[in-house]
Chain A
């Protein structure tokens, strides 16, 4: 059951990215080009996704546990720290350079492999750098 739901959610999420053309870095860069030739269509994507998402959290508020899993695993951290700010700032710079955030970058492996392969290898190396850095600190 977990497997089926997880796979279908991945599939639907990918279809959502494709429909909204977020899988195309030209569309994303157009959206980020606020001071140039701005393409505002991704505002509609964000706004509609967030509006529907909010309904989910309203329903969650009325339930003690999810329908399939036994407990909620939603992040509870509320502290705004320098890691959050610096990490998000670096992510935004990377996103603005290519127009790929993680999801669309992964789909580029198929949609645009001559770009996707380089982006995804670097994405993995970047994630690994953080993973092993934090592990080294803990030891």
Chain B
């Protein structure tokens, strides 16, 4: 039940959010882009509000929702730092991440986003299969 219900509700919420954002503000939701605006643009207020909301909402994990899978054992700082550097640099060079390319980009059938999503899914799957 939870294996279908929770992801379905989560996915619908994510989809509805991208639609509200698009139709009201005219923009695409891309977390890596919004983070980079918060860090480097002159207009930081709106990106700050979005990221603050994201962290508050995302921390509701286990509060409103039932946790079906345990968190992994804490990984070493070195692993997390290598991962963070690659994600930070890669998403900026590639102009997007799971949200901007994977959800919003595929929704609007952007050829760039379809290619980007295929590429990052492939390298992520290869990385996991090598590390396991």
* Residue of A74, A83, A127 touching B32 (CB-CB under 8 A): A127
Encode B46-90 as 1/0 by CB contact (under 8 A) with A: 100111111111111100110111111011010111111111111
A91 and B91 contacting across the interface, CB-CB below 8 Å: yes
Q: How far is the CA of A95 from the CA of B84 in the complex (A)?
A: 8
Q: How far in angstroms is the closest Cβ of chain A from B4? A: 6
A21 and B107 contacting across the interface, CB-CB below 8 Å: no
- Per the CB 8 Å criterion, the residue count for chain A at the interface is 111
| Contact (A88, B116) CB under 8 Å given A14-B53, A21-B7, A24-B67 | yes
A101 and B61 contacting across the interface, CB-CB below 8 Å: no
Question: Chain A contacts of B19 at CB under 8 A?
Answer: 52-53, 55-56, 59
B residues within 8 Å of A by Cβ? 3-4, 6-29, 31-32, 35-36, 39-40, 45-46, 49-61, 64-65, 67-72, 74-75, 77, 79-99, 101-112, 115-117, 119-129, 131-132
Secondary structure at chain B's binding surface: helix, strand, loop or mixed? helix
- 8 shortest interchain CB distances as A-B pairs: A126-B88, A14-B57, A87-B94, A10-B53, A20-B10, A122-B84, A52-B15, A94-B86
Query: Which of B24, B58, B107 has the most CB atoms of chain A within a 10 A radius of its CB?
Result: B58
A16 and B46 contacting across the interface, CB-CB below 8 Å: no
Q: Which residue on chain A has the smallest CB distance to residue B77? A: A118
| Contact (A22, B10) CB under 8 Å given A10-B51, A97-B83, A124-B88 | yes
**A-B contacts at CB below 8 angstroms, number:** 470
Query: Which of A22, A45, A67, A88 has the most CB atoms of chain B within a 10 A radius of its CB?
Result: A88
Query: Which of B51, B89, B121, B129 has the most CB atoms of chain A within a 10 A radius of its CB?
Result: B89
A19 and B6 contacting across the interface, CB-CB below 8 Å: yes
State whether the Cβ of A137 lies closer than 8 Å to any Cβ in chain B: no
Question: Chain B contacts of A56 at CB under 8 A?
Answer: 15, 18-19, 22-23, 107
B53 and A7 contacting across the interface, CB-CB below 8 Å: yes
B69 and A26 contacting across the interface, CB-CB below 8 Å: yes
| Contact (A48, B84) CB under 8 Å given A87-B90, A88-B101 | no
Question: Chain B contacts of A136 at CB under 8 A?
Answer: none
* Residue of B84, B89, B95, B107 touching A84 (CB-CB under 8 A): B95
| Contact (A77, B120) CB under 8 Å given A23-B61, A87-B93, A110-B59 | no
